[in-house]
Structure 1
């Protein structure tokens, strides 16, 4: 599926099953706003990112498997500037966040998804920046691009599981927000819950 096809499937599923997440989907970003963001970052955004932003400026309360929220145009610009300015004077190859990584989503726990903007055939690949550990590019097919990532999310909703994501299962909470659950998480000592009504992630009991 292309970006718009994936969004159409996601929208349809949310409308039928998770009304609060559906209602939270943002309006499209204006073309000039996207162009201004590219100028601010000094980067030409991959086409699939532009198409996604022109359909929805971020994802509101809709979350990808792993409970990642897509950033708005302004959040992308702000996050990119902050990340690139974090280590002045440090060589590019030694930086915790590299200037060729464009942040596109966060999970509220300090982990981010980014697009690799390195010129070449791999441009636009999705990577994960782990809190405290740094970034790495994914080798799985759904990390090939944002388009592939949205396709995987759409198919995960349709099939009832995103098998390649540690088998995340789509669930709808009591407030009609979509959340993705890891069925093995109950084995952990700390159970994590997502309060989608205020976008807060917190350990139970704290």
Structure 2
């Protein structure tokens, strides 16, 4: 039986509950929901509606207030950051012939229908590919060195958020990365069996939420 993929809002509710219980400092980095006006302004600049999964995610949290490792490899951008990153990449691509694939690459450096929803630690954008076709909605990396990379890409944002929520509440990994807690009280994702980060110990993150105490039997 195929497992139902949770919607972004359902996954964020589970992620929020886990963070609020185990990592309140990281939970505090999540911004409040985006406003309808902010979404409309962003869509005017991009010239296209935001992907449905992304718009739903932004209605839960308008990205984060500072770079974080709440998610495995990507720090969610606020809608203002989405617009800024898209405009910057469009300008750079236009100046450097980056909108067309080079002969040795399958993808261009940037495409107008790539929506940058998150960033990696080195500043690359994780994008939602809005180009029409069977791969519409997939996630990939772009805007750093080389052409866009959709190798082993997530089929959509909902699938990624679902996998994160499942790992936090039921255990397991997200594409080989597991959640850990740092000595500073933050989140970190790494391979199974990782014991330290920059010389400091890591602890496996707790799975799920504490169960409420059992109610005593009534006399």
The structure with the largest alpha-carbon Rg is: 2
* Matched residue, 2:9: 4
Q: Offset at 1:63?
A: 2.5
Please say which of residues 69-78 and 153-162 is displaced more in the overlay. 153-162
Select 1:79's aligned residue among 78, 82, 85.
85
Q: After the TM superposition, which residues 97-116 of structure 1 pair with which residues of structure 2 at under 5 Å, given as runs?
A: 97-116=110-129
Name structure 1 gaps, 5 residues minimum.
195-206
1:117 and 2:130 aligned: yes
SS in 2 for 1:93: coil
User: Shift in Å at residue 91 of structure 1?
Assistant: 6.7
Q: Partner residue of 1:47?
A: 52
Equivalent residue number for residue 100 of structure 2:
93
1:34 to 30, 39, 58: 39
The answer as to whether partners of 1:69 and 1:105 remain within 8 angstroms in 2 is: yes
* 2:76 alignment partner in structure 1: 70
More helix by share: 1
Change (3 A) 1:6 1:175: same
RMSD after superposition: 2.4
Distance 1:193 1:100 in 2: 41
Q: 1:179 to 1:106 in 2, by over 3 A?
A: same
Q: Residue 125 of structure 2 contacts residue 141 of structure 2 at CA under 8 Å; is this kept in 1?
A: yes
Distance 1:157 1:174 in 2: 19
- Aligned residues of 1:172 and 1:179 also touching (Cα < 8 A): yes
SS in 2 for 1:133: coil
| Structure-2-length-normalised TM-score | 0.75
Which stretches of structure 1, 4 residues or more, deviate above 3 A after TM superposition? 59-62, 183-186, 191-194
CA distance in 1, matches of 2:194, 2:184: 22
More strand by share: 1
**Once the 2 structures are TM-superposed, how far is the Cα of residue 139 of structure 1 from its aligned partner?**
3.8
Q: CA shift at 1:125, angstroms?
A: 1.1
